[in-house]
Amino acid sequence: MLTAAATALTRTDDTAGVVLVGGSVTLLGWILTPLWLAGVLFVSPAVAVAAPVALAPSLVARGYLVRVTRAAIQPGDAAGAPSLVAWGELARDGLKSALLSAALLAPLAGGLAVAGGAVAALVAGPVEPGATATAVESALGPNGPAAVAVVAAAGVLALVGAYLVAFAYVRPAALAAFAASGRLRDGLDPRTVAGVAATGPYATGWTLAVGALAVGYAVAAPTVPLVVGVAVAFLARIVAHDLYGRGAAESLTEETEATTAATATRRPVDAAPDAARSGDEAGAGSGSGPSVGPAGDGPPAPVVSGDGGRPMRSEPPAAVQVGRGVSVADESDESADTDPTRADEAGGADADPTGGFEWGPALSDAEDKS
């Protein structure tokens, strides 16, 4: 698993482009996002309108990591890491990834807000702090108030640390569930996420990913001022998310197959006769032959990331999008081989001297307009 994840980027269509562009958007995200936050907090709230520009690099980088996770989940996919193309789609996936993290951290934020409100009520509320401190001191001794404050702070820190550790373990499982289907609600489904996080392959992949991130960030930290460290950190995140996807692949694939089987068996008993009868009536009304099946029986359209599970037309190959070239001759030959109409047009030139063109009536056969 670790070897396949570490070498996935070497098997992509544009390794150098992924490293350069990915490192660039990561660096821009590290610079623009803190500047934007500082501007909103300390300069003027009007700086918030610059969010699309300031957050775009970070969203693109996050969206690419979602795509890496999705590619690792696909069964039998040995093509390696995907290319960093289709930025609009990456930004949408990155936004969903950020919303997923915010939703998982919302309980912690709510708990801290409640704790802060309780402390504020004790300090500035109807209860006198001096009287409370005196009561605690009389019960526990002179150092009683300080001991209570230290124990309370340690308890809060322990709870926050435990929640963050659980978040670090569960969040990649939720991200994998979202990446597999393209629907954000799947990443927030407790049953789906728990089913992924409780498996042994995911635990193994998560442990290897933590090690990869630790080694990658340790190597990248000294060279961050030279910008090289930014690219190294980006590569470490690619390896980690590839491991997340590979660890969650087995659980998500089994769940998808089970869902598909359950959906297929849920068809009503009288649906087939009704469909056949309606097809016969349509055929009789139009005078055509018997129906060969519903229109949806053909091969399904490929699903593109970020579409929420809806069938979409797949994007052009990465080699075309990165400007490596378009093989027009190969494409025409392939289309001629796969399309009978194109094949007849290509091969029928010798058999039909007209080239398949339907000529109009000769001039001598024209109607007499008089």
Q: How far is the C-alpha of 13 from the C-alpha of 318, rounded, in Å? A: 7
Whole-number Å distance between alpha carbons of 109 and 160:
10
Neighbours of 30 (CB within 10 A): 16
Reported as a pLDDT band with limits 50, 70 and 90, residue 20 is: very high
Name, of 86-90, 207-211, 315-319, the range with top average pLDDT.
Answer: 207-211
DSSP codes joined into one string, 298-317: SPPPPPPTTSTT---PPPPP
* Averaged pLDDT for residues 33-41: 93
**Residue 119 banded pLDDT, cuts 50, 70, 90:** confident
Single-letter code of the amino acid located at 61: A
Name the pLDDT band for 120 (thresholds 50, 70, 90): confident
Rounded Cα distance between 125 and 43, Å, is: 32
Distance CA 148, CA 115 (A): 15
Query: pLDDT value at position 199?
Result: 93
Burial of 228 (0-12, 13-18, 19+ CB in 10 A): middle
Find the helix or strand (DSSP H, E) in which 181 lies.
helix 144-181
CA distance 181 to 210: 25
220 band by pLDDT with thresholds 50, 70 and 90: very high
Q: What mean pLDDT do residues 303-328 have? A: 52
- Top pLDDT among 83 and 305 is at 83
pLDDT confidence of residue 283: 47
The pTM of the full predicted model, rounded to 2 decimals, is: 0.70
pLDDT averaged over every residue in the chain: 76
Distance from the Cα of residue 300 to its chain's centroid: 21
User: Which pLDDT score, from 0 to 100, does residue 332 have?
Assistant: 47
When pLDDT is averaged across residues 352-359 and rounded to a whole number, the result is: 50
Q: Which residue has the higher pLDDT, 368 or 140?
A: 140
Residue 316 is classified by DSSP as P
Per-residue confidence (pLDDT) for residue 10, from 0 to 100: 86
Look at residue 263 in the predicted model and tell me its pLDDT.
53
CB 56 within 8 A of CB 29: no
User: Tens digit of pLDDT for each residue in 137-171?
Assistant: 667 777 766 777 788 889 999 999 999 999 999 99
Evaluate whether 174 touches 188 at the Cβ level (below 8 Å). yes
Looking at residue 15, what is its pLDDT?
87
